[in-house]
Amino acid sequence: MSEFDLVILGGGSGGYACALRSAQLGFNVALVEEDKLGGTCLHRGCIPTKALLHAGEVADSARHASEFGVNAQFVSMDMLAVNAYKDGVISKLHKGLQGLVKSRNITYIEGHGRLVNKNTVEVNGVAYQGKNIVLATGSYARSLPGLEIDGVQIVTSDHATKLEKVPSSVIVLGGGVIGCEFASVWKSFGSDVTIIEALPRLVALEDESTSKQLERAFRKRGIKFEVGTRFASATKSPEGVTVTLENGATFTAEMLLVAVGRGPVTSGIGYEEAGLTMDRGYLIVDDKCRTNVPGIWAVGDIIPTLQLAHVGFAEGILVAEEIAGLNPRPINYPGVPRVTYSEPEVASVGLTTAQAKEAGHDVVELTYDLAGNGKANILKTAGSIKLVAKKDGPVLGIHMVGARVGELLAEAQLIYNWEAEAADVAPLIHAHPTLSEAIGEAHMALAGKPLHAHG
Ligand SMILES: Cc1cc2nc3c(=O)[nH]c(=O)nc-3n(C[C@H](O)[C@H](O)[C@H](O)COP(=O)(O)OP(=O)(O)OC[C@H]3O[C@@H](n4cnc5c(N)ncnc54)[C@H](O)[C@@H]3O)c2cc1C
């Protein structure tokens, strides 16, 4: 039997980050992975979708080239070439990650792991014992009752990142982050796209004003959507898939993407038998990612925190540092930056207006329209920066819509996490002409000294 300080089950964002940091702290680490190091994010999630979105952006640039005085034409998508570009990015990052794991002397174990007792993971009949066990088995794409995923006509994001042709039409079931990103990709690629969302608005976890702006922008792009109506059934025919909603409306398209959320991978691998506390399949942990069983930790998509790669990284690092006795600060989840990488992008940190009010704050709001920003005009993008703040107090939330606003989150999250007030940010000079000026302008306006703002 091999013995380690940590045995980590799952080599995705949460698991590998924990392995890298633990090894850096001098621990003897084993990392178990049954598929590919890097997990969902690298192979089926963040990276492939962002590559597809970038290909879509290039297609749109070609389509709109004449608006900028450039003679170019959008002809068609070459999905073989798109996939070669996307897979090239994945493969380079995958190799880099494999090198990193090797260079830190982490014992990498390939195979299906199972928790067999509170300090042992078994892989291919071999027991690996750890003073600590870190569970990081990630998540899978959920479906709905009566909806059978066949990978051809009815697909999940796993299939959608690997398509060899552009579907002529798609129904996207689910208007959350993943659904909106794929809707954006396919519209850019030339498909006819309809989103169906049961909640009353797209990206429903965002501030209400954000949803309105995204919906307006999608409408302008010709992306159709139905919100506030629930899915009833889907039937397949050689021509495509027909979706019927509870209100009786029907939609037919060549393909149906099911993007109704992701469930934790926690069953059949010994978690129940080990006596781990779970709620609807998620492992329940404290603010240091400890489960109820001493010595067993859980990170990433299997715990009920935001299902984001950078949250997995942070939780993995937190566990490594806690085991090393560094007493790291628990993660402040509202302070985690969130992006929907559609066109336009949606980016936010902190509380929405509704959440801030619910928390009992005396709330003030300020919205700076990107129409007043030079760079936004150069890019021909529309959107805004909305600040939610406590009256005479710190900024409680920043909500942005527009091309490339995801890049503005670096500053927005510092403002939120350092509890800055508008008057602290207003004197900071932002380079002209950048989109980041809009953040400066918004804080100047909230501090009572607007510059490029009417009224
Ligand atoms: C389409 C899509 C787009 C996304 N885009 C973004 C984005 O832009 N930004 C962002 O931050 N997040 C994004 N995410 C979310 C992000 O991918 C996840 O939050 C992240 O991958 C979670 O990391 P994890 O380590 O918890 O799980 P995973 O990455 O799922 O890794 C778990 C690993 O455990 C392995 N495993 C499971 N069970 C076993 C077992 N019994 N034995 C051995 N190995 C096992 C799996 O093979 C897998 O590799 C996206 C997700 C999807 C699906």
pLDDT at 39 over 70: yes
Answer yes or no: is 277 within a domain: yes
The answer to whether 383 touches 401, Cβ cutoff 8 Å, is yes
Residue closest via CA to ligand 1's atom 12 equals: 308
- Nearest protein CA to atom 2 of ligand 1, as residue: 45
- Which of 260, 290, 323 lies at the terminal end of a domain, its last residue? 260
Domain that holds residue 383: 344-446
Q: How confident is the model at residue 453 (pLDDT cuts 50, 70, 90)?
A: confident
Q: How far is the CA of 316 from the centre of ligand 1 (A)?
A: 13
What is the pLDDT at residue 350?
A: 98
Amino acid 414: pLDDT: 98
Q: Write down the pLDDT at residue 130.
A: 98
pLDDT of residue 253: 98
Does residue 147 sit within a domain?
A: no
pLDDT at 1 > cutoff 80: no
pLDDT in tens, 177-189: 999 999 999 999 9
**pLDDT given for residue 53 in this prediction:** 98
**373 forms bridges with which residues in the sheet?**
none
Name the token pair of 32: 């178990």
- For 151-166, what is the mean pLDDT? 98
Does residue 285 share a domain with residue 187?
no
Residues 290 and 198 in one domain: no
For 314-323, write each residue's pLDDT tens digit: 999 999 999 9
Can you tell me the mean pLDDT for 45-63?
A: 98
Mean pLDDT of the chain: 97
Tokens 């139905």 locate to 226
Name which residue sits closest to atom 20 of ligand 1, judged by CA: 309
16 and 120 in a single domain? The answer is yes
Residues 310, 163 share a domain:
no
Q: 455: pLDDT confidence band, cut at 50, 70 and 90? A: low
Residue 454 within any structural domain of the chain: no
Same domain, 380 and 324: no
Tens digit of each residue's pLDDT (9 = 90 or more) over 108-146: 999 999 999 999 999 999 999 999 999 999 999 999 998
**Separation of CA 315 and ligand 1 centre (Å):** 13
Protein residue closest via CA to atom 23 of ligand 1: 13
Which among 213, 245, 260 is the end of a domain?
260
- Residues 136 and 275 reside in one and the same domain: yes
Q: Are residues 292 and 190 in the same domain?
A: no
Which of 321, 171, 142 lies closest to 241 in space, CA to CA?
Answer: 171
End-to-end Cα spacing for the chain: 73
Mutate which of 7, 13, 112, 289 for ligand 1 pocket (most atoms within 8 A of beta carbon): 13
Tell me whether residue 451 is in a domain: no
| Index of the ligand 1 atom closest to the CA of residue 15 | 25
CA 390, CA 401: separation in Å to the nearest integer? 22
Pocket of ligand 1 from Cβ distances under 6 Å? 9-15, 32-35, 39-41, 44-46, 49-50, 112-113, 136-139, 157, 178, 265, 269, 300-301, 307-310, 312, 341
- Does any domain span residue 217? yes
Shared domain for 26 and 131, answered yes or no, is: yes
Q: Residue 297: inside a domain, yes or no? A: yes
- Regarding whether 126 and 9 lie in a shared domain, the answer is yes
Q: Where a domain ends, among 212, 236, 260?
A: 260
Residue 453 in domain = no
Asked if 77 contacts 189 with a C-beta cutoff of 8 angstroms, the reply is yes
The yes-or-no verdict on residue 236 having pLDDT over 80 is yes
So which residues are the catalytic ones?
432
The residue written with tokens 């890049």 in the block is 407
| Per-residue buried b or exposed e for 232-264, using 16+ beta carbons within 10 Å of the residue's own CB | eebeeeeebbbbebeeeeebebbbbbbbbebbb
Are 236 and 120 part of one and the same domain? no
305 & 375 share domain: no
| Residue 307 CA to ligand 1 centre (angstroms) | 9
Rounded Cα distance between 436 and 439, Å, is 5
- Cα of 48 vs centre of ligand 1, distance in Å, is 13
pLDDT of residue 260: 97
User: How far apart are the C-alpha atoms of 114 and 134, rounded to whole Å?
Assistant: 12
Burial of 326 (0-12, 13-18, 19+ CB in 10 A): exposed
- Phi, psi angles (nearest 5°) of residue 179: -60, -45
Q: Distance between CA atoms of 406 and 338, rounded to whole angstroms?
A: 8
Distance (Å, whole) CA 49 – CA 47: 6
Nearest CA to ligand 1 atom 41: 113
**Cα separations (Å) of 415 from 61, 374, 395?**
33, 23, 7
**DSSP state letter for 154:** E
Nearest CA to ligand 1 atom 30: 138
H-only helix segments in 44-78: 46-63
Which DSSP helix (H) or strand (E) runs through 318?
helix 309-323
Q: Would you state the pLDDT for residue 146?
A: 86
Residue 437 CA from chain centroid, whole number: 26
Interatomic CA distance for residues 237 and 253, integer angstroms: 10
d(CA 99, ligand 1 centre) in Å? 20
Number of domains in the chain: 3
CATH code where residue 316 lies = 3.50.50.60
Mutate to test the pocket of ligand 1, among 46, 126, 203 (most ligand atoms within 8 A of CB): 46
Q: Which amino acid, one-letter code, is at 420? A: A
Give 330's DSSP letter: P
When pLDDT is averaged across residues 366-382 and rounded to a whole number, the result is 97
Beta strands across the sheet bearing 250-253: 231-237, 240-245, 250-253
If asked whether residues 359 and 428 sit together in one domain, one would say yes
Residue of 7, 35, 40 to mutate, ligand 1, most atoms within 8 A of C-beta: 40
Q: Is residue 339 part of a domain?
A: no
pLDDT digits (tens, 9 = 90+) for 57-91: 999 999 999 999 999 999 999 999 999 999 999 99
Query: Can you give the CATH number for the domain in which 371 is found?
Result: 3.30.390.30
* Per-residue pLDDT tens digits for 326-365: 999 999 999 999 999 999 999 999 999 999 999 999 999 9
Name residue 386's amino acid. Answer: K
